[in-house]
């Protein structure tokens, strides 16, 4: 599965990732596809083993 991203989308994704890392979290990135639509899921995993989805960018 290949995701096409423009520069604006790449910068937003990088900002989201660095925001999580700067606050002591871990980042999990998954490529997903649902009903033919591809999207990127960025999830934050806390050290307490709780996870929270922060964004899903539809491509």
Which pLDDT belongs to residue 20?
A: 82
- Inform me whether the pLDDT recorded for 54 exceeds 80: no
For tokens 């871990």, name the residue.
Answer: 26
- Tens digits of per-residue pLDDT, 21-52? 888 878 888 888 888 777 777 777 665 545 55
- The confidence score (pLDDT) of residue 47 equals 54
Domain residues of the chain, as ranges? 7-58
pLDDT at 49: 47
Structure confidence at residue 59 (pLDDT): 46
Which whole-number Å values give the CA distances from 38 to 6, 27, 32, 45, 56, in the listed order?
14, 19, 6, 22, 10
């Amino acid at each position: 599965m290949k995701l096409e991203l423009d520069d604006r989308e790449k910068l937003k994704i990088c900002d989201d990732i660095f925001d999580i890392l700067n606050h002591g979290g871990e980042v999990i990135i998954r490529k997903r596809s649902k009903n033919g639509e591809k999207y990127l899921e960025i999830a934050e995993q806390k050290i307490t083993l709780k996870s929270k989805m922060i964004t899903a960018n539809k491509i």
